[in-house]
Amino acid sequence: MPFEKLNLIFDWKKIASQTINKFTSSKKLIFLIFVVGDVTNFVTSVSPMDTHHYHHSKLSDTHLPTHGKCEPITIEQCKNLEYNETIMPNVLNQMKQSDAKESITQYSRLIQSRCSQYIQIFLCSVFVPVCTQLETALPPCRSLCLNSKLDCESVMKAAGYGWPEELDCKKFPDDNVNVLCVSVNGSEKDSSKEGRKNKNWPNKGSRGGNDGARQGPKELYCPTFMRADSKSDYRLFIGDSVMKSCGMPCGVKGDMFSLSDKRKLVRLIICIVACICLLSSLFTFLTFLVDTRRFRYPERPIVFISACYCVIAIAYIVAYALDNKISCSEFVEHFDDDISFQSELITQGTKREGCTIIFVMLYFSTLASCIWWVILTLTWFLSAGLKWGQEAVESRSQYFHLLAWAVPGVMTIVLLAMGQVDGDALTGICNTGLTNKEIATAFVAGPLIILLSVGIFFLLAGFISLCRVRNAMKFDGNRTDKLEKLMVRIGVYALLYVVPVAFVVGCVFYEHAWRTEWVKGWYHQTCSDLLMSGEGHFGNVFELDFEPNYLRSNVILQQQQWACGNYPSHFANYAGSKPDLTIFVLKHLMTLIVGVACGFWVCSGKTAESWSKFFCRSNEASKKNHQKGQPTLL
C-alpha cells in the first residue's frame, strides 16, 4: 500500500522541525524528500503507515492524483522498508525489477552486515526507489550516499572490493540544491566527518570491550558473537588491548587453525591415543595390585605415575565424548523485550563445573606424575649412587607421598582461587595458561622445567653410579647381564618420559611467543569473513523482530557498528598468521605418550609370571568355593 501524499504550502522550518520531533520521539523512521525553491516550499513527509492506519486515517478522504506507474516491490532485500511500492525505471535507468534484483543481489551481504544504519535505504532508493506523485524515480541524496560509504567502504575493502562506480556519491544530488532527493533524518548531519567524529557511542551500559565504550578510532570493540554476560569475568587479549566481557567463540568462528571439517578427525586421533594410554597405564597399575611385592622402591613411583596417567587419559576421553559441552559456554542476554543475543564462547574461569573438574584432573595429575618421576630418579640415585637399601628408601616413603600429592594440590587450589581455567577449542579439554602467558610460565612451564632438570640431574648421577658398578663387576669377573638390562630399561624409560615432557614445555613457549600475532590475524580474518556473511554485528540473533524502521533500532545499530573496521590497520599484516596444527596435536599426543611408556616398564617375563600366578590362585579359590557351596570371589 503506497503512502498518503499531500502537497502543502507551509513554513518549512517550523513544520519540518515539528514533523521530525514528532516521529523521532515515537521512534519512527522518516524519509524527507527535499525540494528548495524560490517560489514555493514543498515537502513530502513519508511516515510509516500500515493498511489499517491507511484506511482509517483522517487523511483517508483526501484524493490525490496518481500516474499509475507504481508497482509492488518484489525484491526481498527491500521488502521491510517504510514503503512497499516502487517506480521503474530506477535511478540507474533499469527498466524492470528483475534487472534491479540482479544488481542489488551483489550487495546482499553488505546489507546483512548492517555496517551502516543507512546502507539498506540507500541501496533500495537506488535500485527500487519509492513511488511518489512524480512520474520519475527520486534519487538518494548525496548525504545518504556519503554516510553509507563512510560506514561500509572498509567492509568492502576487507573483502577485496572497492566502492562501486555505479554508486559514486558525486552522481547523486546535494541536499542543498533545487533537486528532489531522498534522505533520512540526521544523515545530512552525519555525512560530515566532524559530525561523525562527535557521534555518541555506547556508554558503560553496553556490552563489550572496555565496558562497551568506543573512545577512539583504533579502540577494539567486542562484536556480539564474542560477547559474554556483562557480569562475567571473561577477557579477550588482542595485542595490547583487553576486551572485557568478551571471549573467543567456539567452533569455526574461533578456529585459529582453519580446521573446518578436520576438527573431528584431530579429536578422534587424540582420543584413540588417550585410550591406548589408559589401557597401558591401567595395565601397569593392575600389575602392581596383582604382585605388590615386586614393585618396591626405587621402582614403585612408576605405579603412581601410571595412576596419574589413567586420570589424564580419562579426562581426554570424557572431553571427546562430550564434544564442546565442557570447553564451551553459552551466553544468552536479552537486550530488550524482543531482541536476544546468543553466543557460544570458549570457557574461562571456574563457573562451569565440568570444565573445572577436567582441569583439576589434568593439572593435578600432570604435576603429580612429574614429581613422582623426580622421586623415581632420586630413589634410583639413592640406591645406585649412595648404596641405600630398599628398607632405608621405603622408610622415607611418607615424605615422598606428602611431596607428590600436597604440592600439586596447593597449586591447583591457587589456580582455582584465581579463576585461571581455560577451555581448549582444539581438544575440548580445560586446562590453565592457554591464554595467559604469565600463568603458563609460573604454573605450567616453570614447574615442569624445574622438575625435569632435577630429575635429569638425579638420572645422570644414577647412571654414572651404575656404570661404575658395572665396571667394577666386570673387573671382578662377575656377570653384568642383569645390570645392563636394568640400565637399558632405565635409559629407554627416561627417554620416553623426558623427550615428551620437554616437547610439551617447548610447545608452551612456542604458543605464547607467537600467540599475539595469531590472535591479531584471526581477529582480522574472522571479522572480515563474518561481516561479509552477514553475521558481524548480531552473530546468533534470535527473536529479532524489528519494526520496519531504523530509528527504533538506531541505538542498537550504534552499539553494533562494525567493530572490526576500527582495529589498527597493521592487523591486516597478520592475516595469514596462524599456529602450526601439527605442533599442537603433537603436544597433546606427547602428553599421553608418557602414560603409554608406563606399560613399557612392565613388559617382561616377570609380568607374565605374575598374571599367571594370579589366575592360578583365582582358579584354585574358585574351585574351593565351589566345593564349599560358597559364591565365587575373584
- Written as one string, the DSSP assignment of 367-419 is HHHHHHHHHHHHHHHHHHTS---HHHHHTTHHHHHHHHHHHHHHHHHHHHHHT
Task: State the pLDDT at residue 309.
Answer: 96
In sequence order, what are the beta bridge partners of 44?
Answer: 33
Q: Please, which pLDDT band fits residue 629 given cuts at 50, 70 and 90?
A: low
Cell numbers of 621, please?
A: 579359590
Quick one: DSSP state of residue 295? -
What's the pLDDT score for residue 335?
46
pLDDT of residue 135: 84
Query: Hey, which residues does 183 pair with through a beta bridge?
Result: 32
β 70-72/328-336 pair status = unpaired
Interval 98-108 mean pLDDT:
89
Q: Confirm if 430 and 424 have CB atoms less than 8 A apart.
A: yes
**Higher pLDDT pick, 601 / 306:** 306
Mean pLDDT of all residues in 345-367: 95
* Helix or strand run (H / E) with residue 87: strand 85-87
- At 221 the three-state DSSP class reads coil
Of the candidates 81, 116, 124, 122, the residue with the CA atom closest to the CA atom of residue 100: 124
Contacts of 150 (CB under 8 A, 6+ apart): 116, 191, 196
* Residues 255-293: tens digit of each pLDDT: 677 666 678 889 999 999 999 999 999 999 999 888 888
What percentage of residues in the chain have a pLDDT greater than 70? 68
How far is Cα 632 from Cα 634, in angstroms, rounded to an integer?
7
Whether the Cβ atoms of residue 178 and residue 223 lie closer than 8 Å to each other: no
Strand partners of residue 32 = 45, 183
Average pLDDT, the chain: 74
Which of the residue ranges 182-186, 230-234, 301-305 has the most confident prediction, judged by mean pLDDT?
301-305
Q: Are 75 and 100 in contact (CB under 8 A)?
A: yes
Non-local (6+) Cβ contacts of 291 within 8 A are 610, 613, 614
At position 163, the amino acid (one-letter code) is W
3-state secondary structure of 181: strand
Q: What confidence score (pLDDT) does residue 567 get? A: 55
Q: Rounding to the nearest 10 degrees, give the CA dihedral for residues 590, 596, 598, 602.
A: -150
Beta-ladder partners of 431: 422
Instruction: Please give the pLDDT value at position 241.
Output: 79
Name the pLDDT band for 198 (thresholds 50, 70, 90).
very low
**Angle, CA 231 vertex, CA 230 and CA 233 arms, to 5°:** 100
Alpha helix segments (H runs only) across 481-566: 481-532, 554-559
Query: Any bridge partners for residue 43, and if so which?
Result: 34
pLDDT band, very low/low/confident/very high, at 333 (cuts 50, 70, 90) = low
Distance between CA atoms of 411 and 409, rounded to whole angstroms? 6
Return the minimum-mean-pLDDT range out of 192-206, 523-537, 584-598. 192-206
In this prediction, residue 206 carries a pLDDT of 35
Max avg pLDDT among 129-138, 198-207, 211-220, 313-322: 313-322
Neighbours of 96 (CB within 10 A): 12
Residue 369 pLDDT more than 80?
Answer: yes
Q: How confident is the model at residue 323 (pLDDT cuts 50, 70, 90)?
A: confident
CATH class of 12-197: mainly alpha
**Backbone phi and psi for residue 93, each to the nearest 5 degrees, phi listed first:** 65, 30
Confidence of residue 337 (pLDDT cuts 50, 70, 90): very low
Percent of the chain with pLDDT over 90: 29
- Of 296-305, 337-346, 361-370, 401-410, the least confident: 337-346
Q: Worst-scoring range by mean pLDDT, 115-119, 365-369, 501-505?
A: 115-119
**Predicted pLDDT at 183:** 79
Domain boundaries, the chain: 12-197, 263-331+353-514+590-603
Q: Provide the pLDDT for residue 538.
A: 35
Of residues 69 and 210, more confidently modeled? 69
Mean pLDDT of 407-436: 94
Q: List the single range of 52-66, 326-340, 474-488 with lowest mean pLDDT.
A: 52-66
Q: Cell 528532489 maps to which residue?
A: 180
Provide mean pLDDT across the span 591-606. 86
pLDDT at 596: 92
The predicted structure's pLDDT at residue 552: 31
Residue with the bigger pLDDT between 550 and 421: it is 421
d(CA 342, CA 327): 17
Query: What would the pLDDT profile of 26-82 be if each residue is shown by its tens digit?
Result: 333 334 443 333 323 333 333 333 333 333 333 333 344 467 788 999 998 898 888
Q: Let me know: does 190 contact 151? Beta carbons within 8 Å.
A: no
How far apart are the C-alpha atoms of 299 and 278, rounded to whole Å?
Answer: 20
In CATH, the number for domain 263-331+353-514+590-603 is 1.20.1070.10
| Angle of helix 353-384 versus helix 301-321 axis, rounded to 10 | 160
